[in-house]
Amino acid sequence: MGNVVIKLGINEITEMKKYYSKQLLEKNPPGSVFSAKTPGCVITAYNSGKVLFQGNDSEKEAGRWGSVASSAMTAAASKTKKVPTSAKGDLPPGISQMSAIGSDEVGTGDFFGPITVVAAYVKKEHIPLLKELGVRDSKDLNDDKIIAIAKVIKDVVPFSLMTLKNDKYNKLQQSGMSQGKMKAILHNQAILNVLEKIAPEQPEAILIDQFVQSSTYFQHLKGQKAVAKEKVCFSTKAEGIHLAVAAASILARYAFVQYIDKLSEAAGFKIPKGAGAQVDVAAAKLIVSKGRDILPSFVKLHFANTDKALALVNKRKF
Ligand code: MG
């Protein structure tokens, strides 16, 4: 079990407390501002500004706050490790308050529907406004809330949406392209589009919600016009690091939900999300009503759900 101590300002600690609001512990140790527990980490923030991370995820969780390790650690904490740069994904210090492009994707794990990738530019002076509008980690928001927020922010932040429709996705997949490569190409293109939109203005940072090691990401982009390596940084759970990624995620989900609505209309019934048993049944229904040939424009064919749906059709069990 690892321990990590970092030192933060009071504003950052207030922000942290908000971030962990659903995971706060009732009992706070003496001298602490709050204590919270995630599945892999206990976080305790002290009045002194020191924040202690304990547990298997301590490095990852501390890296989220991207701050340098305290030079004035207590004797008890002196055995703890500093946050290695790699755990922070090489994030520049203070990135969360910079004018930044963030990008994120939706739909990669859904049997029905496209992959949608959005890159969005959030200027630092827009950060408070976006917070006010409710922009935060989209995993905490339901579809209705996401749609409502997306409708407002789409006119506030410059962004680019890339939609990889099912037909094209299936063709690329069958030609041997990995989903990782597709995503790299889409993220890169969305970011290039936003850079062009905001030019001559330049972002202070570009943050991609990490789906692959950065070396692999650039490997995927070999031979293409790519945003320079030095300008891009990666982090997992980047939605929690910069609001630009949270905004991108909300806009990507909005586009995905809208697309699923279109597919539902074409199918004549409500298309489910995800890759669970309910999508097998829906695909079986679709095959029976429209024929097998309709599938490539609705689903990601290489998912195991395709065979499961066909089995249901053969057994007429749905
Ligand atoms: Mg993501």
Question: Ligand 1: distance of its center to the CA of 209 in Å?
Answer: 5
What is the CATH code of the structural domain delimited by 95-260? Answer: 3.30.420.10
Across 25-29, 56-60, 270-274, the highest mean pLDDT is recorded for: 270-274
Question: Ligand 1: distance of its center to the CA of 252 in Å?
Answer: 10
Rounded CA-CA distance 191/207 in Å is 10
Question: Ligand 1: distance of its center to the CA of 105 in Å?
Answer: 5
At the topology level of CATH, where does 3-68 sit? Answer: TATA-Binding Protein (3.30.310)
DSSP secondary structure string, 28-48?
Answer: PPTTEEEEEEETTEEEEEETT
- Residues 255-260, mean pLDDT to the nearest whole number: 97
Question: Ligand 1: distance of its center to the CA of 240 in Å?
Answer: 11
φ/ψ of 161, rounded to 5, equals -105, 125
Question: Ligand 1: distance of its center to the CA of 106 in Å?
Answer: 7
- Helices 243-267, 143-153: axis angle to 10 degrees equals 110
Rounded CA-CA distance 110/264 in Å is 14
Name the band, by pLDDT with cuts 50, 70 and 90, for residue 1. low
Question: Ligand 1: distance of its center to the CA of 140 in Å?
Answer: 14
Domain range summary for the chain, segments of one domain joined by +: 3-68, 95-260, 275-315
- Which tokens is 59 given? 């490095």
- Residues 82-101, mean pLDDT to the nearest whole number: 71
Residue 93, classified by CB atoms within 10 Å of its CB into exposed (0-12), middle (13-18) or buried (19+), is exposed
- State pLDDT tens for residues 48-87: 888 888 888 888 888 887 644 443 344 344 444 444 333 4
* pLDDT of res. 12: 85
Question: Ligand 1: distance of its center to the CA of 26 in Å?
Answer: 31
Rounded CA-CA distance 128/136 in Å is 12
Question: Ligand 1: distance of its center to the CA of 48 in Å?
Answer: 34
Rounded CA-CA distance 299/284 in Å is 12
AA identity, residue 270: K
Residue 88, classified by CB atoms within 10 Å of its CB into exposed (0-12), middle (13-18) or buried (19+), is buried
- Residues 267-280, mean pLDDT to the nearest whole number: 96
- State pLDDT tens for residues 135-174: 988 778 899 999 999 999 998 899 999 999 999 999 999 9
Question: Ligand 1: distance of its center to the CA of 254 in Å?
Answer: 14
* pLDDT of res. 71: 37
Per-chain mean pLDDT for the chain: 89
What is the chain's length? 318
Among left, alpha and beta (phi > 0; psi -120 to 50; other), residue 91 is beta
Contact 138, 118 (CB under 8 A): no
Which pTM was predicted?
0.72
- Which tokens is 133 given? 């509008």
Handedness of CA 308, 309, 315, 318 (dihedral sign): positive
Contact 95, 243 (CB under 8 A): no
- State pLDDT tens for residues 112-136: 999 999 999 999 999 998 998 889 8
For residue 281, count other CB atoms closer than 10 A to its CB.
Answer: 17
Contact 299, 111 (CB under 8 A): yes
CA neighbor of 123 nearest in space, from 199, 66, 203, 65: 203
- State pLDDT tens for residues 211-244: 999 999 999 999 999 998 989 999 999 999 999 9
- Helices 277-290, 305-315: axis angle to 10 degrees equals 60
